[in-house]
Structure 1
Amino acid sequence: MRARHKPWADEFLKENDHLVKLDPASHKGQWQSVFQSNSPIHLEIGTGKGQFIVGMAKQFPNISFIGMEVVKSILVSAVQKGLEEKPNNVRLINENAEKLLEVFDENEVDKIYLNFSDPWPKNKHAKRRLTYQTFLELYKQILKPNGEVILKTDNKKLFEYSLVSFSQFGMKLEEVVLDLHEFNDPTNIKTEYEEKFSAKGQPIYRCRAVFV
């Protein structure tokens, strides 16, 4: 579903620049300074309306969380969520994953979350999938040694594709869960999509892959 255009989004994001970093490239290599903390940095690519990233920030106050969202009209919802919940260990950025190397230095990030990413089901669009090899190469550069990528999706074909893509790239699959809610992980924070799909009985797939 396409996000409804919000003509006031630009001004709203500027007014909340304590939470939204409008020029993320200027903080490359200095994200710990942004948080004024030496805590590990976890990045969610495609943060949507912010339920996951804000929930994680509240559950793990000793970790610094960055939510990346390319659509401003969606990002404003994440900002509103952050303003409501007020965790001090989360920042949001409006950027495309293709520009990760402009935003983060090598070995600057400890963990990457890919939650309910666009599956791009047509074969001709495979290069746009966030688990395609070109994106994995970007992740490898900004992640610390043995850094993790955690994928959650309701799309079985994307999940299967991603398992193969991770393996072919030489990553180690540390976890593969075929029904996350049957697995009953008490630390799992549900995204908005996750609540919607799981309520319909749709299994949620999760895997954790490590660069070795």
Structure 2
Amino acid sequence: MRLRNKPWAKEFMEAHPDVLIQEEEGIQQDWHSVFGNENPIHIEVGTGKGQFIIGMALANPNINYIGIEHFDNVIVSALEKAIEADKPSNLRLLRGNGAHLKELFKKGEVDRVYLNFSDPWPKSRHAKRRLTHESFLKRYESILGERGEIHFKTDNRKLFEYSIVSMSAYGMVFHDISLDLHAQMPEDNIMTEYEEKFSAKGQPIYRMEAAFK
């Protein structure tokens, strides 16, 4: 994916530290102190332009949400959306790398991880970059609490099948699997930008909920 350069992004991000936290500032923070409460913490790894995480924050004020994105030129769009939504107090954006989750969160600090329309990395030699590869599952397991879950959505059938196999091999259990989420759209489903695009074309959306034993 080619990203359009936004030379103003860095300065704009630095002007809103109440919403957007840089990775070097976020290492091993007490995130409950950041939010000022003990509400559950849900994170989205690869939050993109932020439509999903902001929608979730607005719909669920008693849950704290953190959207994690590695690219300045992408997360700045999420920051703009958050400002337009009047900066929900239960939302933070984190400019960071999903590979550094163990450095960003304490053990058991997170209650749910969302993975939405992640890069499928289709070539076999790139399998370790997939967000449902064993190496990433280990990171999620470390930061999730005892009843923590992973919620995963994609339009990519091969990535979905790979993820089921990867999670099963890791010993995870599935609470819900849908091969066509929009066939019976849940009332509480918050769509991402990609989800709107793909569903409008008639492509099935695959979804699962999984937990560690």
Whether the TM-score (by the shorter chain) exceeds 0.5 is: yes
User: In the aligned structure 1, how far is the partner of 2:76 from the partner of 2:207?
Assistant: 27
2:62 maps to what in 1?
62
Is 1:96–2:97 an aligned residue pair? yes
Is 1:197–2:205 an aligned residue pair? no
Which residues in structure 2 correspond to 1:142-157 (within 5 Å)?
142-157=143-158
Note the residue ranges of structure 1 that are not aligned, 5 or more in a row. Answer: none
TM-score when normalising by structure 1: 0.98
Deviation at 1:80, TM superposition (A): 0.4
CA root-mean-square deviation: 1.0
Equivalent residue letter for 1:205: Y
Note the residue ranges of structure 2 that are not aligned, 5 or more in a row. Answer: none
- The question of whether the paired residues in 2 share the 8 Å contact of 1:24 and 1:103 is answered with no
SS at match of 2:79: helix
SS at match of 1:21: strand
User: In the aligned structure 2, how far is the partner of 1:67 from the partner of 1:184?
Assistant: 24
User: In the aligned structure 2, how far is the partner of 1:197 from the partner of 1:126?
Assistant: 23
TM-score when normalising by structure 2: 0.97
Deviation at 1:146, TM superposition (A): 2.5
Equivalent residue letter for 2:69: E
Equivalent residue letter for 2:19: L
- The question of whether the paired residues in 1 share the 8 Å contact of 2:50 and 2:81 is answered with yes
User: In the aligned structure 2, how far is the partner of 1:41 from the partner of 1:24?
Assistant: 20
Equivalent residue letter for 2:30: Q
SS at match of 1:146: strand
1:37 maps to what in 2?
37
Deviation at 1:29, TM superposition (A): 4.5
* % identical aligned pairs: 53
Equivalent residue letter for 2:194: Y
Deviation at 1:8, TM superposition (A): 1.0
Question: 1:5-51 deviations in whole A, cap 9, x for unaligned?
Answer: 11111101000111001245545250010000110000000000000
Question: 1:86-140 deviations in whole A, cap 9, x for unaligned?
Answer: 2111000111111111100000000000000000000000000000000000000
User: In the aligned structure 2, how far is the partner of 1:25 from the partner of 1:208?
Assistant: 31
SS at match of 1:152: strand
Equivalent residue letter for 1:79: L
User: In the aligned structure 1, how far is the partner of 2:128 from the partner of 2:27?
Assistant: 28
Which residues in structure 2 correspond to 1:71-90 (within 5 Å)?
71-86=71-86, 87-90=88-91
2:5 maps to what in 1?
5
User: In the aligned structure 1, how far is the partner of 2:177 from the partner of 2:16?
Assistant: 38
1:106 maps to what in 2?
107
User: In the aligned structure 1, how far is the partner of 2:182 from the partner of 2:10?
Assistant: 37
Deviation at 1:3, TM superposition (A): 1.6
Equivalent residue letter for 1:37: N
1:135 maps to what in 2?
136
Is 1:18–2:49 an aligned residue pair? no
Which residues in structure 2 correspond to 1:111-130 (within 5 Å)?
111-130=112-131
User: In the aligned structure 1, how far is the partner of 2:8 from the partner of 2:192?
Assistant: 25
Aligned residues: 212
Equivalent residue letter for 1:59: A
